[in-house]
Amino acid sequence: MSTELPAVAPAVTAELVAALSPRLRKRLDAWVAKLADRPVVRDGDTVRVTVDDEGSVLELRAPGGVVTDPAAVRCGCLLAPDCLHRAAAASAAPVADTPTGDAGAADEAGEATEAGEATGAGEAARTAEEAAPESAVPAAGTADAPATAPQLAAAQAVLDAVAAVLDAGTDGGGAVLQAELLRAAHTARLAGLPRAASAAVSVVTALRAARAADPAFRLAELVTALSEALYVAHRVPSSTGRELTELRGTVRQSYTPDGSLRLYGLFSEPVLTASGYAGAVTWTADAAGRLCSVSDVAPGGAGRAVGAADRAVRVGDTALTHRELSRAGLAVSGATLSPTGRLGAGKGVRAVRAPGVDWRAEPLDRWWAVPVTEQVGRALGGGHDLLFLEVTPVGTVREAAGDCLLADCGGLPLRLTVAHDHPALPFRDNLRLLAAARGSRLRVIARLVPAPHARARLLASEHPTIAGLRVDLGLDRLQQADLPAPEPAGTAPTPAEAPIHVLRRRVEQAASGGRRVLAFPGNSAADAARLDRHGLATAGDILDELLAAAAERSRDAFGRLLPADTGRFARAWLTAARYTDEVERVLCAAAWGG
């Protein structure tokens, strides 16, 4: 996926791919890879790509930054409009999760700001709310009405498309399968199922990142996206009332007036998503103990994520930058807030700079006074997932994804990891330096990671040596001179690995390699016995069903293999994914002392 290309609406990509002949569809993935190396020139709302050495130019017209009409993708080659270039460009471009013809921006970007997933992990469907109008568009249907016929058909389309992707894995999930999933997403949105549509788009985004070997890709994000899409599509037909309302989702977040606010800056974090959005989010708190966020997220890459911190916040006429606001304050009149605490930037909002306070002074000090178990319980219960902790670095622990900081948090061994691994962001370097500040008692802000042991992503910290100064670890860079005198390194205790990883590993293997990876002959008795010894007999049964569903193949009367039952495998995989999620949540609460 190229972030230089404009975002393309799902329906446009689906239509362009569907128009290709079967012969051209077989060559589509190769052309998507070729376009990644072709020069791109942007001229206002028009983007031009030289598609071959003869100088043929492909033109994408994207008013407002989004291509919403197949006719807006034009190619100058001799085979146009029946060439591969148009479909390849749409398949290589970021997905705009927005209804075709709707004037709003994509609904994809708010995830990184509302739940704070600046890494893009589990990023489905939240980043583009940053650019969306401050209005609410409810999903179709009423609270008590059952799913409509179009919604049932749309849910089945999403279910079938995601099952096909799960059967193929990342290697087989090429542009054709992605287009089918985008078509299903578009159908779901038109039917009034925006949650299913956003989840389907998230699967496509994660697939593209995996196939492009994007360093920001995380297999756990693909698993989360697949699980969410399958779960919503599977539950819609049998749900009613409040559950169905939640499964339908909403297209826009509503903003409600909140009068005057006195906000105190907490920290800023960069946003860099796999779907091509970047920027910064600044978190603030008011005297009543509420969190509010101010964001600047738009299509872009790492450069925008780094530079957005020095842009003026989009609230009123204030000249404060995000970096300044994280340490200062803001007085707002005529404020509007979304249910997730996002501060609106409507015409009636006025804001001026105000003094900030230290983390150890009121009213910010109260955030660290809340017991850790209560904070974790709130996060696991659906509240915001920011944790306010006092920790003492004790060393590092080597993991497959790199070293993480091991800290003591009131006697609890805690693993602190980077929030984003992109080399343009200083998270990794800062974490390595903080690990050398052994013995320093620091207040930090982190984001909970549900895991069988205490684990969180580190976002901001007090300065190791300068009292009253704090560091936004994704934007500021610590230096060796900032560290206190080194203390002798001790032996870092390592939390024991929970056996649920036995089932989690198979879930991730299927998401990456497809059904066939689990269909190879093998003996799972040892894994099932290990789970049973730890009181997880249900996990062993789920594992057996998952492997059986992957390997089962029927034959016709002539002994020929029939197509695999992708529906059964998708249900077995969803059961395993949801089960591991719930068990890990329970283990996570127990690891934090809950």
pLDDT in tens, 461-477: 999 888 889 999 999 99
Is 451 in the same domain as 525?
Answer: no
Beta partners for residue 442, in sequence order: 391
Is 399 in the same domain as 295?
Answer: no
CB 276 within 8 A of CB 1: yes
Could you tell me the two tokens for 216? 């920001």
Q: Which residues contact 389 (CB under 8 A, 6 or more apart)?
A: 368, 372, 409, 414, 443, 444, 445, 446, 456
Q: Is the pLDDT of residue 121 over 60?
A: no
Name the residue range of residue 81's domain. 17-91
What is each CA distance from 551 to 233, 504, 516, 571, in whole angstroms? 24, 18, 8, 14
Could you tell me the two tokens for 331? 């007085």
Is 144 in the same domain as 244?
Answer: yes
Contacts 24+ apart (CB under 8 A), 76-79: 77/51, 77/52
Q: Is the pLDDT of residue 41 over 70?
A: yes
Phi, psi of 207 (to 5 degrees): -60, -45
pLDDT in tens, 74-89: 998 888 888 899 999 9
Could you tell me the two tokens for 75? 């190619």
Rg of the chain on CA atoms, in Å: 25
Is position 109 within any domain?
no
Q: Which residue has the tokens 């230290």?
A: 358
Could you tell me the two tokens for 497? 């690995």
Is 510 in the same domain as 562?
Answer: yes
Is 322 in the same domain as 396?
Answer: no
CB 407 within 8 A of CB 416: yes
In which element (H, E) is residue 8 found?
Answer: strand 7-8
Q: 489: number of CA atoms within 13 Å, CB side?
A: 8
Q: Which residues contact 400 (CB under 8 A, 6 or more apart)?
A: none
pLDDT in tens, 372-402: 999 999 999 888 899 999 999 998 888 877 7
Is position 492 within any domain?
no
Is position 116 within any domain?
no
How far apart CA 187 and CA 203 sit, in angstroms, is 16
Is 282 in the same domain as 224?
Answer: no
Is 426 in the same domain as 350?
Answer: no
Q: What is the pLDDT of residue 293?
A: 92
Q: What is the pLDDT of residue 575?
A: 96
Is position 126 within any domain?
no
Is position 122 within any domain?
no
Could you tell me the two tokens for 188? 């779901």
pLDDT band at 91 (very low <50, low <70, confident <90, very high): very high
Q: Is the pLDDT of residue 428 over 80?
A: yes
How far apart CA 593 and CA 136 sit, in angstroms, is 39
Among 294, 327, 354, the domain-final residue is 354
Give the residue-averaged pLDDT of 341-362.
Answer: 88
Is 349 in the same domain as 281?
Answer: yes
Among 196, 222, 248, the domain-final residue is 248
pLDDT in tens, 491-503: 445 555 568 888 9
Is 237 in the same domain as 317?
Answer: no
CB 97 within 8 A of CB 107: yes
How far apart CA 567 and CA 164 sit, in angstroms, is 9
> How far does Cα 29 stand from its chain's mean position?
24
Give the residue-averaged pLDDT of 331-345.
Answer: 86
Among 320, 354, 388, the domain-final residue is 354
Is 404 in the same domain as 434?
Answer: yes
DSSP codes of every residue in 334-351: EEEE-TT-BBP--TT-EE
Q: Is the pLDDT of residue 328 over 90?
A: yes
What is each CA distance from 334 to 129, 282, 321, 348, in whole angstroms? 21, 19, 20, 6
Q: What is the CATH number of the domain that holds 321?
A: 2.40.50
Is 516 in the same domain as 572?
Answer: yes
Is position 4 within any domain?
no
Is 369 in the same domain as 478?
Answer: yes
Domain count of the fold of the chain: 5
Is position 586 within any domain?
yes
Q: How many residues does the chain have?
A: 594
Is position 398 within any domain?
yes
